[in-house]
């Protein structure tokens, strides 16, 4: 059986078209016409391998749906929406979406994005490294385990989304070297995301809230103004 996919979309025609196309791609598709039904499905069956979520849902909108999913699950999420304003794109990414596709769209664009997400889920370029020390604080060391897909602070896991995890892996693969936003887009999002490099800033900001002691004064993932971002291990 293929990967499990949950579509959260209130337009019956869009949902049916996505289901038919994605089943042809060997996905095991479950549908939900609203956020409440989708959340009930997650509680009943657990997280799928990937989700597609429309923003303009009735009652609970897509932003709230993603926020609720992120409380317990790190499942990759692609947003589909007729709202193409930059503020909406950024807001969706801020609450935890991994990718954003505007309507109307070609189904083949969705399937391409899904394939990219699945490739990202398959591993990192650091397969030979068992762990990377991010912060040597003796009271609670912060460690990245690329092979296990985990970040650990002391005995506890730090829950990152797939995109946040991939960004961290790319940055730590070359300590001390500045990686441009364009480089990170190409490595983490494959062909990039609308050519808009600000998506990197959004995910870096979210990543910092989870791994930095003081996100407003980062020490692990540093900004190099005008150039990009650099990983500095806190030994």
Domain boundaries, the chain: 4-121, 132-231
CATH architecture of 132-231: Orthogonal Bundle (1.10)
> In this predicted structure, what is the pLDDT of residue 9?
96
Give the CB-side neighbour count of residue 25, counting CA atoms within 13 A.
21
CATH superfamily of 4-121: Response regulator (3.40.50.2300)
Using CA of residue 105, residue 27, residue 73, residue 58, what is the dihedral sign?
positive
Question: For residue 77, what pLDDT is reported?
Answer: 92
| Model confidence, pTM | 0.72
Note the pLDDT of residue 187: 84
The Cα 131–Cα 80 span in angstroms is: 36
Residue 1 confidence (pLDDT) = 58
């Amino acid at each position: 059986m293929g990967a499990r996919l949950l579509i959260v979309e209130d337009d019956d025609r869009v949902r049916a078209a996505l289901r038919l196309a994605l089943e042809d791609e060997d996905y095991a598709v479950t549908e939900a016409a609203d956020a409440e039904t989708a959340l009930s499905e997650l509680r009943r069956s657990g997280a799928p391998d990937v989700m597609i979520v429309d923003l303009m849902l009735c009652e609970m909108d897509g932003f709230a749906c993603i926020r609720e999913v992120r409380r317990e699950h790190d499942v990759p999420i692609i947003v589909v929406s007729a709202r193409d304003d930059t503020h909406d794109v950024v807001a969706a990414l801020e609450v935890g979406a991994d990718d954003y596709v505007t309507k109307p769209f070609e189904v083949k664009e969705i399937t391409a994005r899904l394939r990219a997400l699945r490739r990202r889920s398959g591993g990192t370029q650091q397969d030979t490294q068992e762990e990377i020390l991010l912060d040597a604080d003796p009271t609670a060391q912060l460690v990245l385990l690329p092979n296990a897909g985990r970040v650990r602070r002391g005995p506890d896991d730090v829950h990152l989304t797939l995109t946040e995890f991939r960004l961290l892996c790319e940055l730590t693969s070359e300590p001390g070297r500045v990686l441009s936003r364009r480089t990170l887009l190409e490595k983490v999002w494959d062909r990039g995301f609308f050519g808009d490099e600000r998506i990197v800033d959004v995910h870096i900001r979210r990543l910092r809230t989870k791994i930095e002691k003081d996100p407003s004064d980062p020490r692990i993932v540093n900004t190099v103004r005008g150039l990009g971002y650099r990983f500095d291990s806190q030994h």
